[in-house]
Amino acid sequence: MPATIIMGGQWGDEGKGKLTDALAAEADLVVRANGGSNAGHTVVTPQGTFKLHLIPSGILHDRVVSVIGAGVVIEPSALVSEMKGLRERQIDLSPLRISERAHLVMPYHPQIDSLEEDRRGEQQIGTTRRGIGPAYADKVSRTGLRIADLMDERILRYRLRTELDRKNALLDRLYGVEPLDYDTVVSELLELAEVIRPHVVASEVVVQDALATGQNILIECAQASMLDIDYGSYPYVTSSSPTAAGACQGAGVGPTQVTQIIAVFKAYSTRVGSGPLPTELYDETGELIRRRGNEYGTTTGRPRRVGWFDGTSARYAARLNGVTEVALTLVDVLDTLPEIAVSNGYRLKGEEIAYPPAQDSEFAMVEPTYQTVRGWEQDITGARSIKELPLNALVYLDLIEERIGAPITRIGVGPGREQLVDRPSGQVAIR
Ligand code: IMP
């Protein structure tokens, strides 16, 4: 069976981890395609809550092979501490595979990420300061080090010598901070390398072999389409491609091997960090949604910005990614609201526009137009079938589905594994 992609349709934190976890029960392989420890996937299981940053959530299922693909950037110390945390909770790590082609987030990358953010002052991107941008920049500049280098002490020492000289010059002369000590960096990396070594493979070959033998593959993107380096709200984006196309590249599959592209959307909007969020709420409704949705960053703990569902950016993302299905999550967060708004368009300088402007200053100026519907004002966390959802919730789902332009096939009504309502195609309540 070919591959399925799970990706975020908004600005991240849509609940991709939960959906991947749910679908992983039927999968043979789960592959993480992009990003690094900037991501935070929360999965609630009967064994408790797991917060994963680098390791695919497939690891929480016994027989599923979990692959960190070539498109991911790996901070070895973060990976090893995540592995340790999982082992302490009796999670079997033997099915973990790590691409030898994945780039390393080196100790100087988070440092440069932070120093650059401080230098930007008011123009801060609001990065997670995990070194993601600088690591991808080195990858594209062809000066990065990879897992394959970490596996060979001689090559590691050689490549790091040249690179650390360059980075230390930057740290010293541009930022005026202490340079890093070569021997300390090498010895720390070599120690971490031994923990990682048993898991290192040619992950693209593992994935292709699985496809060739008819296995079921899930590809998990971190972040989301509106944070994409090309199509997101540049420069307020991450440095990878969290799109369906990026998922293929990062996991090592061809576009024709993918049959399903499931975009995860929240029933409202959130964003962490700076940049446009046209439907942002600054009032007590926003505060209520933040509190009920526990909208605080998994990786940084920062409060997330909150807004109404943005139909314009959602449709843009759905089209760009060739989305075949939608999972709409956190619908229960809206349970207490008497009225709910959905943005159905943007206006810019008096004109209607159907997609996000490329220039961030213009994107920040767009005025969303809204349609308001009545809330359902009842607890839906116990619903397990579409028939158990109140009429007003179904009206809301239909409205969102129409905006996105792809069928909503799953509805999240709570954080638990079982709190996912299936909505098989065709089972549409109202039209
Ligand atoms: P970076 O990926 O750390 O460089 O951060 C760039 C932008 O992406 C910032 O606005 C971050 O808040 C955002 N970002 C990165 N990872 C995530 C994520 O997993 N969820 C939501 N936002 C993220």
Distance 44 CA to ligand 1 centre (A): 22
Band the pLDDT of 429: cuts 50, 70, 90.
very low
For residue 45, is pLDDT > 90? Answer: no
**Which tens digits make up the pLDDT trace of 233-266?**
999 999 999 999 999 999 999 999 999 999 999 9
Chain mean pLDDT for the chain: 95
Please enumerate in sequence order all residues whose Cβ is within 8 A of that of 349, keeping only pairs 6 or more positions apart, or say none: 365
Q: 320 near 243, Cβ under 8 Å?
A: yes
For residue 431, is pLDDT > 80? Answer: no
For residue 44, is pLDDT > 90? Answer: no
Q: Is the dihedral of CA 405, 394, 418, 335 positive or negative?
A: positive
Tokens of 270: 């959130």
Mean pLDDT value across residues 154-168: 97
Distance 130 CA to ligand 1 centre (A): 9
Q: What is the pLDDT of residue 425?
A: 66
Residue appearing with tokens 């789902």: 397
For residue 426, is pLDDT > 60? Answer: no
**Hey, whose CA ends up nearest to atom 2 of ligand 1?**
238
Distance 327 CA to ligand 1 centre (A): 21
| Candidate of 272, 298, 305 to mutate for ligand 1, largest count of ligand atoms within 8 Å of Cβ | 272
Please enumerate in sequence order all residues whose Cβ is within 8 A of that of 174, keeping only pairs 6 or more positions apart, or say none: none
Band the pLDDT of 221: cuts 50, 70, 90.
very high
Band the pLDDT of 295: cuts 50, 70, 90.
very high
Distances 185 to 17, 77, 141, 160, 179 between C-alpha atoms, Å: 33, 12, 22, 9, 11
- Which active-site residues does the annotation give? 13, 41
For residue 362, is pLDDT > 70? Answer: yes
Band the pLDDT of 427: cuts 50, 70, 90.
very low
**Hey, whose CA ends up nearest to atom 22 of ligand 1?**
12
Q: Does the CB atom of residue 39 touch ligand 1 within 6 A?
A: yes
Residue of 158, 21, 147, 37 lying closest to 91 (CA atoms): 21
| Candidate of 54, 136, 223 to mutate for ligand 1, largest count of ligand atoms within 8 Å of Cβ | 223
Give pTM, 2 decimals: 0.95
Q: What is the pLDDT of residue 42?
A: 82
For residue 46, is pLDDT > 90? Answer: no
**Hey, whose CA ends up nearest to atom 9 of ligand 1?**
127
Q: What is the pLDDT of residue 428?
A: 45
- Going by their DSSP bridges, the two strands 325-329 and 408-412 should be labelled as parallel
For residue 157, is pLDDT > 60? Answer: yes
**Hey, whose CA ends up nearest to atom 5 of ligand 1?**
127
**Which tens digits make up the pLDDT trace of 381-418?**
999 999 999 999 999 999 999 999 999 999 999 988 88
**Hey, whose CA ends up nearest to atom 10 of ligand 1?**
273
* Strand ranges for 153-235 from DSSP E: 200-201, 217-220
Mean pLDDT value across residues 180-207: 98
Which atom of ligand 1 has the smallest separation from the CA of 302? 12
Distance 363 CA to ligand 1 centre (A): 18
Which residues are paired to 98 by β-bridges?
68, 200
